[in-house]
């Protein structure tokens, strides 16, 4: 019996630009249009439980019913309820490489009670505090990239919970 030669695998790196577009649907699409065109965040209200759904959803995950067109404009101000300094590497598809987190990330409870994870402007660990008030800083030009239209959240006042 003759021995079969071992199969050789050759790796080839192909770097290419593959731009594409896709529909976000009526709910996320409206959120992203409002962010791009008006620098606004929007949610929908469930007709049954009255919860604000952010990001907007077609069906309430609590009541399992279809949400009507009860759109609510949200404030871009909120309170930091959690933050991390951990610089988890993220893969930047535009540059094709891993990048560290440029800023601390935070869970911001917007004034209407919904939560948004995003970057904080403040990078000094001594100044980062739970309960600090923040406001979104929007891109002035080149909007249309969803949540990337918000550069980061900037501290606007000190919390009275220190």
In this structure, which topology does domain 76-162 adopt according to CATH? Answer: OB fold (Dihydrolipoamide Acetyltransferase, E2P) (2.40.50)
Residue 127: its pLDDT value, please? Answer: 92
Residues 104-136: pLDDT tens digits?
A: 899 999 999 999 999 999 988 899 999 999 999
Could you tell me the pLDDT band of residue 20, with boundaries at 50, 70 and 90? confident
pLDDT at 2 over 80: no
**CB–CB of 138/112 below 8 Å?**
no
Residue among 29, 62, 27, 31 nearest 47 (CA): 62
Write down the domain spans for the chain.
Answer: 24-74, 76-162
Q: What is the pLDDT of residues 47-65, one digit of tens each?
A: 999 999 999 999 999 999 9
User: How high is the pLDDT of residue 159?
Assistant: 46
Mean pLDDT over 83-93 rounds to: 72
Check pLDDT > 60 for residue 162. no
- Using pLDDT thresholds of 50, 70 and 90, give the confidence band for residue 83: very high
Q: Is the pLDDT of residue 160 over 70?
A: no
| Closest by Cα among 106, 99, 69 to 84 | 106
């Amino acid at each position: 019996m003759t021995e079969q030669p071992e199969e050789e695998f050759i790796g080839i790196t192909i770097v290419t630009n593959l731009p594409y577009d896709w529909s976000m649907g009526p709910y996320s699409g409206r959120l992203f249009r409002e962010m791009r065109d008006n620098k606004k965040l929007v949610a929908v209200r469930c007709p049954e439980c009255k919860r604000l759904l952010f990001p907007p959803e077609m069906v309430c995950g609590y009541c399992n019913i279809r949400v009507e067109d009860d759109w609510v404009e949200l404030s871009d101000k909120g309170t930091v309820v959690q933050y991390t300094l951990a610089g988890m590497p993220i893969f930047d598809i535009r540059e094709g490489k891993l990048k560290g987190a440029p800023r601390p990330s935070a869970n911001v409870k917007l004034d209407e009670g919904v939560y948004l994870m995003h970057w904080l402007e403040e990078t000094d660990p001594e100044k980062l505090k739970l309960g600090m008030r923040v406001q979104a800083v929007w891109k002035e030009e080149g909007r249309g990239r969803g949540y990337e239209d918000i550069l980061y959240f900037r501290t606007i006042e000190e919390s009275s919970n220190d």
